[in-house]
Amino acid sequence: MVRMAEALERLEKLAASPIVSTLSRAFAEAEYELALVGGPVRDAILGRTVNDFDFTTNARPDDILRIVTPISDAQWDIGREFGTIGARIHGETIEITTYRADTYDGVTRKPVVAFGDTLTGDLSRRDFTVNAMALRLPQNALEDPTGGFQDLADHTLRTPIEPAVSFGDDPLRMMRAARFSSQLDFTVDEDARAAITEMTASIENISAERVQAELSKLLLTDNPRPGIELLVDTGLADIVLPELPALRLEADEHHHHKDVYQHSLTVLEQAISYEHERHPGAEPDLVLRWAALLHDIGKPATRKLGPGGTVSFYHHDLVGSKLAKKRLGALRYDTATIKAVGRLVELHMRFFGYTEAAWADSAVRRYVRDAGDLLERLHMLTRADVTTRNRRKADRLAFAYDDLEARIAELAEQEELDAVRPDLDGNQIQQILGIAPGREVGEAYRWLLELRLDEGPLGPEVAAERLHAWWAARGSAE
């Protein structure tokens, strides 16, 4: 329960911090208004750590820059067009924005900047009431014209104005509703939820880059499930991530299989749990989380209904990898992220062959070689993919993966498995065979790599003998 007295006490402490107090004095001396606004106020009231400092003022950008220059180590005016000036004060990066009264052009949904004159007017244009509170400085007075404090107490996300108007101004706010529902563990109020459902098509007016940013922020929360479910239930996901709602496969009375959509959400939750377990306090792993959410998106396209109620999804890993890369590409993710997520989706089924028959050392080496620097993520994804309620089966799979990881560690200690390479490099191959650079060197290198994976390290001399024999046999065959 959020109590006003406790909230005001926390805000007083925040106002006394070096950054806030320094800015407060500077703007008061220059006879301009200043208020700490949005997320920092919300988080301070909730007793959460305040990581970002956002301020708003009636000063125009040139005046802001003039005021902060003497008290800051650096300044940035890249957002001057939108009224925002950045600065570094006491080692922290802050942003100060002129009061806004945005309107939107109705086509691209880009804001047409109109500077405002009042703090109340500025707050009314924000996305949700819980983000529309401000701490007026230096008075340390809480400004809450839209009832954000009560909504914090009620754990409710509500728009300061009519939801249809707010979302019409900026449709990305519908996705922010999903993100904040996960980040804050709040419920989107019925009117806002209904408006999202009615207005899903308007998200198509938002650039892929802005959609991508919101999806990333959602996935990087500690509990992304509520936000993802909101995207799917309202229909937003049908537009921004259609492969996800497609996982809600229908089952008939003769063919039954687990709910792939709910399974995927559980895998995501379990992957996050493994992430925290293995790397406590580390930054969230976006690649792992995308791979966990998308690992089964190839199933709808590969589902086959067989006799006796059987259902199969052959090659869903390969199909899913292609779909994942295509979707992340459409969302304008960077090449490294797309490649890593696609590779994890492609490899996520590989381990299950280990439970069917004991792997030779060569198979273990190939598993490591194919995973490359994604090996630890593959470990976590594969373990997270076990969601069976059959305790006996779950224990068997966990034991098998424990055994595989132990074998990987043992082989790595024996032969530096993390950097599996042939015993001879390209230059040595050319010298031994007396050939020039070209296709044949590559063929010899790949043959030596397979030999290395099958038999482990042989040493340069033995590898050279085996290479000569392979070359001679190859020449005879040709």
Assigned token pair, 349: 């089924």
Q: In this predicted structure, what is the pLDDT of residue 264?
A: 96
For 239-267, b where at least 16 C-beta lie within 10 A, e where not — what string? ebbebbebbebeeeeebebeebbebbbbb
- The answer, yes or no, to whether the previous bond of 138 is cis (omega within 30 of 0) is yes
**Mean pLDDT, rounded, for 419-432:** 85
Q: For residue range 130-166, list pLDDT tens digits in order.
A: 999 999 999 999 999 999 999 999 999 999 999 999 9
- How many other C-beta atoms can be found within 10 angstroms of the C-beta atom of residue 351? 21
Q: For residue range 404-425, list pLDDT tens digits in order.
A: 888 888 887 766 655 678 889 8
**Is there a contact between 429 and 444 (Cβ–Cβ < 8 Å)?**
yes
**Is there a contact between 95 and 35 (Cβ–Cβ < 8 Å)?**
no
Assigned token pair, 29: 């001396």
d(CA 296, CA 310): 18
Q: How confident is the model at residue 363 (pLDDT cuts 50, 70, 90)?
A: confident
Assigned token pair, 437: 């650079």
d(CA 7, CA 46): 7
Check whether 350 has a pLDDT greater than 80: yes
**Is there a contact between 35 and 134 (Cβ–Cβ < 8 Å)?**
yes
Q: In this predicted structure, what is the pLDDT of residue 104?
A: 56
Q: In this predicted structure, what is the pLDDT of residue 477?
A: 53
**Is there a contact between 340 and 287 (Cβ–Cβ < 8 Å)?**
yes
| CATH (one of 3.40.50.10860, 3.20.20.150, 3.40.50.2020, 3.30.460.10) for 1-149 | 3.30.460.10
User: For the residues of 319-372, what is the DSSP string, one character each?
Assistant: HHHHHHHHHHHHTT--HHHHHHHHHHHHHTTGGGGTTTSPPPHHHHHHHHHHHG
Please name the CATH architecture into which domain 245-419 falls.
Orthogonal Bundle (1.10)
**Is there a contact between 32 and 63 (Cβ–Cβ < 8 Å)?**
yes
User: For the residues of 208-252, what is the DSSP string, one character each?
Assistant: HHHHHHHHHHHHTSS--HHHHHHHHHHTTHHHH-TTTGGG-----
Check whether 309 has a pLDDT greater than 80: no
d(CA 317, CA 353): 14
Indicate the average pLDDT of the chain.
89
How do 304-305 and 311-312 pair as beta strands? antiparallel
Could you tell me how far CA 176 lies from the centroid of its own chain? 14
**Mean pLDDT, rounded, for 335-362:** 87
**Is there a contact between 420 and 369 (Cβ–Cβ < 8 Å)?**
yes
Q: For residue range 86-119, list pLDDT tens digits in order.
A: 999 999 999 999 998 755 555 555 556 678 889 9
| Distance set, CA 329 to CA 38, 60, 245, 334 (Å) | 32, 39, 19, 8
Sheet of 141-143, strands arranged across = 74-76, 84-89, 92-98, 53-57, 34-37, 134-137, 141-143
Q: For residue range 242-276, list pLDDT tens digits in order.
A: 999 999 875 544 344 568 999 999 999 999 999 99
Contacts of 407 (CB under 8 A, 6+ apart): 359, 361, 364
Could you tell me how far CA 101 lies from the centroid of its own chain? 32
Same fold, 1-149 and 245-419: no
In the chain, what are the domain boundaries? 1-149, 245-419, 426-477
d(CA 408, CA 428): 29
